[in-house]
Structure 1
Amino acid sequence: MYSRISTVALLARALSDQAESYDYLLAGAGTAGLVIACRLSENPKVSVLVIESGPDVRNDGVVTSGNFSFTGANDRVLSYRAGKAVGGRSIVNGMVYIRGEQAQFDAFEKLGDSEWNWDSLFSYGKKGERFEGPDTAQKTAGVTANPADHGTNGSLTTWKSIGVNPVTDINGGNPHGFVSAPQTLDRDKIRRSSSAAAYYKPVDSRPNLKVIQGNMKRIIWANEKKNRAVASGFYAKEEKLGVKVKSAMPGVGENMQDHNAMVIGYGTANTLVGDTPFATLVTAQDALGNKMPVLAASSRSQISTWAQAASTYTGGAIDAKTYEKRFQIQHDLIFKQNVTIAELFPTNLGSAIVSQLWTTHPFSWSSVHLKSLVSFDDPVIDPNIFSLQFDIDMLVAVARKEQKAYSTPPLSTFVAPNQVLPTNATDEQWTAYVQANAGNTLHVVDTCAMLPLDLGGIVDSKLKVYGTSNMRVVDASVIPVELTGHTTGPLYAVAEKAADIINNDS
């Protein structure tokens, strides 16, 4: 949450009473928080305070390393890790930088978020990027890039043979195909480039920017202004508090969207050396082939039923008509606009290739809520994964497409057939496997959605919380449409635009 405040009341870590005054208070030094802090503090006339519950680990060798390892249904417990540190999730993520697809961003505007679309965000996506194009060795290996799609401060044969063509650059708004995926890394040093490294480290000596460790437990509210609540500060001391509602919004914590993921391993004939930074992004047409029209028609006929079930899931907090509108827009993205609906991303382990695959637009939405007034770090998360057969069918279709690729030369000459399921496995066998093994990707969005209030929104197009005059939310939770790829890339663009909005609104 981000506010322009005249006075901030806080308790220091020593718990001695101390009052300090700042122009801006930021709760959380995460991926987006440090972008905001950096941009606001560019103005030496304003002061910025950031409070972060996690430590500063910018010099931790495990964090800065370029190494990364990957982690349901049937009542299994799923892990929802978070980056509790200065830098947030950009400290612990897989470092893959994929912005998403143009039609998905344009859906923001269709849902009522004026001035939020691909065209308005593309320049912000490039603003903080210092892109390093492929070197000679990478070009030889098949890595391509289009410099115009970026800021400046392997063989393709297999996928092409089964109908998926190469694309020059994954971040130009049309990522359909097989492509090399950029990473948030210093290429030559093989060192992670997090928001802490890119946005905070270069400016951490600014006298008007301060980051402290602590927990924000309660917002202090001043007198209302024009029937809107005014945040005037916070307490950073743990207290047993009652929660007084300042602005009732039943959508808080609802509509949690994530990618449905699965991992399939393939043993290699010989030890493979090097990374495999290639992503394959497929459409429903790619995955379903001639089955697509039937699934498109049957699923569209069920939208009203799905919408009613989603409303019931929220206890009626959000009505079925709201979900029907949102589900129709998502369905159109999949079946009419033919956006990429899944990503396949292999990781080389030397003696094996681990293929990660996930689908982008499941209709089984979930929720996250506060467990109790003293359990801020232990929320109730219900993944609600695969509550609809459609979501299983889509993941199965993508897994079949991936299996075909690894059964086709030249990939089939490098790997042994997987021992998971045979190439002629039935839909029933695949469904059972998905329910037993699939999970989440931690690409969570939409729990604090930037939407009109009547669609369950929490913040408006200026990112202000409805019913308040000076409190904003800027993180992945405001993104109202799940995006192709990974969350970090689009979040940087959202944060850069948010910083401009805040500066221009001050």
Structure 2
Amino acid sequence: MAPQRGPTLGRALVALLSLSGAYARSAKCQPRAVGDPQLLNPDEVEDEYDYIIVGGGTAGLTVADRLTESGEYTVLVIEWGPTITAPRSGPLPAAQTNLNNRTTAVIGGLMLGGSSGVNGLQAWRFHPPNEDTAEALDIKYDESYWGNTSDVHASFPTFNWPGLRLEMEAFSEIEGVEFPPDSGAGSPGVYWYPTSADPSTMTRSFSRTGHFDGIARENYNVLTDHRVLNVLFDEDSASGVRYVAKGAKNDTDARSVSARKEVILAAGTIHTPQILQGSGIGAEALLESAGIELKVDLPGVGWNFQDHPLGGVLPLTKRKPLDSDGLSCRIRRVSLRTPDHRLRKRRLLPPLPVIAPEAFEDIASRFEAQDPAAYLPADSPEPIGALVYLHPASRGTVYVNPENPYFAEPVVDYRAMSNPADVDIEVEFVKFTRRYWTETSLSEYGPVETRPGEDVREDEDLRAYVRANVSPSTFHPVGTSAMLPRELGGVVDQALLVYGVSKLSVVDASVMPDLPGAYTQQSAFAVAEKAADLIKARA
């Protein structure tokens, strides 16, 4: 099959300067909240529900809320994590060959609300900034791009670091950089964007606060601290799930619960493919090696794994501070419980010709001329071996551990920088960062490059720096249960139903066949809202 090309590389491969923070391990389970009839103890789970949702995260709680609001359907959500927690480190991925054999933890939100409860606070329902903040930072916005009915809020803090405006204005001095009218406009460039915070309290607004807290519906049940092992089938129709308490090492005490209408997987990009594979849906050779009986030979499960790499920028110090608050204008994370008015988000998302004005044509031509199959995993499904999607070009895998498929974490391999085009672009990020600090008005503040050092100029030396410093993840995993035609390696169809069986759907970021040129939380919410409509339409 000939390669299928999308937009030109100059438009498709863009710089993502992430502002996300590091994550910690999960906290202990919180006690059952008083006045939450939907939060169950294990013995209170009914034998049967209309819908079972596996995963109470960003998408899972959204779908649960939408399916139960009419009172017509009963829903059980089974969430591996507790009600309130910090993020957790998951499995260690395979050593990254193209990152000097380094490994980094796989991070996710093990809690009710999922990764929307721990991530960098991306936006959903829009609240404009107050006049003082908008004037101080010259924030432009257009409310027509935003919704105003969601219970997941997006707002601007009332505090701002004065130096941030200087940094924003410096971008305008770089040729080709655009300033879209709003962060929701979908155009590449530089803009301020709101974050997921309730403007009345400036506390985190996310899937749990918007789609669970304060909702007391007898038909909306949630079981936390339990993980689903596999989907149960009545012939080729999903009929329920089998689950155990968190921490279980075997299935001696496994329980099962039935679904009258549908089983909905929303366990995320890392664990949804593990559950599918544990249910006999995946690549035949993989399942055979794990001793799992084949239900559907679907080699795309766990394949096509992508994440936004983090890195390629330079650590710098400044001889002269940008403002009276010191050298760094750091992001302050909005707490789950305590107000924080200081968090500020700005983003540069320029096209490749802006990042690499001299090199982009050469990078694009080499990317177009390459055989993409040469850089894919050795066991890639044959039909999709020649497909190339948008950035990044590298593809990884998430497969069950054949030695312990149900209770061990899956084997995660980002295969970061396996396609040389990704390394080329990361090198251009380094060069762009240098230009930004040394060829704009920011140069008067005396930036000093601390690593790799301004004397490191040759591309090969910069490639070595990239391989030694880039992280394979900005905590935006997608693609392992892609919505594509089955013959192209897809796992779900346009209705989000898994190929080869009935009454089984996937509703999370794993269905995205390619990374969006943005953070993934908003996309996950959008998938969930659309999925709820699809599910109700076929009820």
- TM-score, normalised with respect to structure 1: 0.76
Q: Cα–Cα, structure 1 residues 414 and 139, in superposed 2: closer, same or farther, change >3 Å?
A: farther
Give the Cα separation in 2 of the matches to 1:479 and 1:469: 20
Displacement of 1:194 after TM fit?
1.3
Output one character per residue of 1:392-424: Cα deviation in whole Å (capped at 9) or x when no partner. 111111221122112234323446222113177
Superposition deviation, residue 96 in structure 1: 2.8
> For the residues of structure 1 that align with 2:398 and 2:66, how far apart are their CA atoms?
30
Residues 1:33 and 2:60 aligned together: yes
Superposition pairs of residues 45-56 of structure 1, within 5 angstroms:
45-56=72-83
Of 187-196 and 483-492, the range deviating more from structure 2? 187-196
Structure 2: distance between partners of 1:55 and 1:17 = 17
> What does residue range 436-451 of structure 1 map to in structure 2 within 5 Å?
436-439=468-471, 440-451=473-484
Q: Deviations over 1:120-168 (max 9, x none)?
A: xxxxxxxxx4311111232121222110111123144311111212222
Number of positions where the alignment pairs a residue of Structure 1 with one of Structure 2: 407
Counterpart of 1:209, as a letter, is: Y
Looking at structure 2, the residues matched to 170 and 366 of structure 1 have their Cα atoms a distance apart, in angstroms, of: 30
The whole-number CA distance in structure 2 between the counterparts of 1:45 and 1:276 is 42
Q: CA deviation at 1:19?
A: 5.2
SS in 2 for 1:403: helix
Aligned residue among 490, 495, 501 for 2:523: 490
The answer as to whether partners of 1:407 and 1:417 remain within 8 angstroms in 2 is: no
Q: Which residue of 1 aligns with 2:368?
A: 300
State the 1:244 CA deviation. 2.4
Shift in Å, 1:81: 0.6
Unaligned runs of 5+ in 2: 1-39, 88-95, 150-164, 245-249, 253-277, 279-290, 330-341
Aligned to 1:365: 395
Cα distance change on mapping 1:130 and 1:136 into 2, 3 Å:
same
Measure the CA separation in 2 of the matches of 1:426 and 1:275.
Answer: 37
Cα deviation for residue 25 of structure 1 reads: 0.5
Q: Distance in 1 between matches of 2:420 and 2:239?
A: 48
Alpha-carbon shift at residue 52 of structure 1 (Å): 0.5
The answer as to 2:140 corresponding to 1:90 is no
Tell me, what secondary structure is at the counterpart of 2:479?
coil
Q: Which residue of 1 aligns with 2:293?
A: 244
Residue aligning to 2:441: 410
Q: Which amino acid aligns with 1:432?
A: A
- Structure 2 residue aligned with 1:323: 385
Q: Which residue of 2 aligns with 1:235?
A: 242
Alignment CA distance shift 1:423-1:286 (3 Å): farther
Aligned partner (choices 401, 407, 417) of residue 386 of structure 1: 417
Provide the C-alpha distance between the structure 2 equivalents of 1:19 and 1:152, rounded to a whole number of angstroms: 36
Matched residue SS, 2:212 = helix
Q: Does 1:434 pair with 2:500?
A: no
Q: Kindly tell me: are residues 488 and 23 of structure 1, through their superposed partners in 2, closer, same or farther at Cα, counting changes over 3 Å?
A: same
The sequence identity of aligned pairs, in percent, is 29
**Residue identity matched to 2:355:** A
Q: Which runs of 5+ in 1 are unaligned?
A: 1-11, 64-71, 98-128, 224-228, 331-360
Would you say the 8 A contact 1:250–1:318 is kept in 2? Answer: yes
Q: Distance in 1 between matches of 2:430 and 2:194?
A: 24
Within-5 A mapping of 1:146-157:
146-153=142-149, 154-155=165-166, 156-157=168-169
Greater helix share, structure number: 1
Q: Secondary structure at the match of 1:280?
A: strand
Query: Does structure 2 conserve the Cα–Cα contact (< 8 Å) formed by 1:403 and 1:423?
Result: no
1:276 deviates by 4.3
* Partner Cα distance (2:49, 2:344) in 1: 46
Question: Which one of 163, 170, 173 corresponds to residue 158 of structure 1?
Answer: 170
1:78 deviation in Å? 1.5
- For residue 121 of structure 2, give the secondary structure of its aligned residue in structure 1: coil
- Choose from 326, 329, 353 the match for 1:285: 353
Q: Secondary structure at the match of 1:368?
A: strand
| Partner of residue 358, structure 1 | none
How far apart, in 2, do the equivalents of 1:293 and 1:179 lie? 26
Residue 231 of structure 2 corresponds to 219
Q: CA 1:499–1:323 in 2, change beyond 3 Å: closer, same or farther? A: same
- Distance in 2 (CA, whole Å) between partners of 1:284 and 1:239 is 51
Asked if 1:425 corresponds to 2:457, the answer is yes
CA contact (8 A) 2:397 2:413 kept: yes
SS at match of 1:49: strand
Question: Cα gap change, 1:20/1:414 in structure 2, threshold over 3 Å: closer, same or farther?
Answer: farther
Match of 2:162 in 1: none
Residue identity in the other structure for 2:351:
T
- 1:266 matches 2:299: no
Q: Deviation string for 1:70-90 (max 9, x for gaps)? A: xx5110012211111101111
Q: SS of 2:116's equivalent?
A: helix
For residues 86-125 of structure 1, what are the structure 2 equivalents within 5 Å? 86-97=112-123
For the 8 Å contact 1:367–1:382, the answer to whether it is kept is: yes
Q: Does structure 1 conserve the Cα–Cα contact (< 8 Å) formed by 2:229 and 2:406?
A: no
Contact conserved, 1:134 with 1:144, CA < 8 A, in 2? no
Instruction: Give the letter for the 2:532 counterpart.
Output: A
Q: TM-score, normalised by structure 2?
A: 0.71
Shift of 1:18: 7.2
Contact 1:260 1:395 (C-alpha < 8 Å) held by counterparts: no
Letter in 1 for 2:412: I
The aligned amino acid for 2:75 is V
Indicate the SS of the match to 1:219: strand
Q: Distance in 1 between matches of 2:207 and 2:345?
A: 21
Distance verdict in 2 for CA 1:22–1:275, change over 3 Å: closer
Give 1:275 shift.
4.5
